Amino acid sequence: MIVIPAIDLREREVVRLRRGVSDTAVRFSSDPVETARSWAEAGASWIHVVDLDGAFAGAPRQLDVVERIASAVNIPIQLGGGLRCREDLEQALDAGVARVVIGSVAATDPATAEQLIAAFGERLAIAIDTRGGSVQVGGWTDGSTWRPIELIRRLSDAGAARFIVTDVERDGMLTGPNHTLLTEIAASVERPIVASGGIRAVDDLTALAAIPVEAAIVGMALYEGRFTLAEAIAAARRS
């Protein structure tokens, strides 16, 4: 299992939100490029970047910062946040990211999502952000009619390469991952699953590896010093 540190960008700074709520932002750095370098030097094999401004606006807002991050490190960058059409994805890839992530469009317009899956293949991941049993859209501000497993099955059938599954209620809260949801999804589809939201200790990583999931995205726990990235990577390797 791969451990992927997260960099959430808000107004060109590194922040973390609680449950994705805009006014809960806690700033951890004013230099996202230096943050990315620090994760690369600590052993990260991927970095997960989220353009929060783009997520709330519905279109990318910080691709210049993302480009600087991608140029500064020699590991691949995964980017989400406001990417909802082919042009957005192409611009993100042109900025140097290795993988792009769509979320809202997957739930609001699955037919378009299927076209993007066909066009971008392995370079595209699908974010399944869930709250109360439904997939969230619009920067986690609205619900949809989709249940997570139903949308995952449809897009898996369309050839989606992987799914990033986040329990919104746990994100940034350090309450532990939603093992029940992740286990159900991993058992239902033959696609790699990336777990996100709630990770608080290295024991959580051990449990996620046993599900199994392909990777775990870690944010708040790393920024608050609950454990180091090196400790997280070591725990994942042992598992």
Active-site positions read 8, 129
Would the pLDDT of 141 be above 90? no
| Count of structural domains within the chain | 1
pLDDT for 95: 98
Query: How is residue 61 written in tokens?
Result: 């807002």
Lowest mean pLDDT: which of 88-102, 132-146, 224-238? Answer: 132-146
Q: How far apart are CA 91 and CA 85, in angstroms?
A: 10
Residue 159's pLDDT is 98
Over residues 22-37, the mean pLDDT reads 95
pLDDT (0 to 100) of residue 75: 98
User: What pTM was estimated for this model as a whole?
Assistant: 0.96
**Residue 79: which pLDDT band, with cuts at 50, 70 and 90?**
very high
Parent domain of 234 = 2-238
Give me the CATH number covering residue 43: 3.20.20.70
Mean confidence (pLDDT) of the chain: 96
* Residue 145 pLDDT greater than 90, yes or no: yes
pLDDT of residue 3: 98
Report, as an integer, the average pLDDT of 47-72.
97
pLDDT band at 208; cut points 50, 70, 90: very high
CA distances from 179 to 25, 208, 225 (A): 26, 7, 23
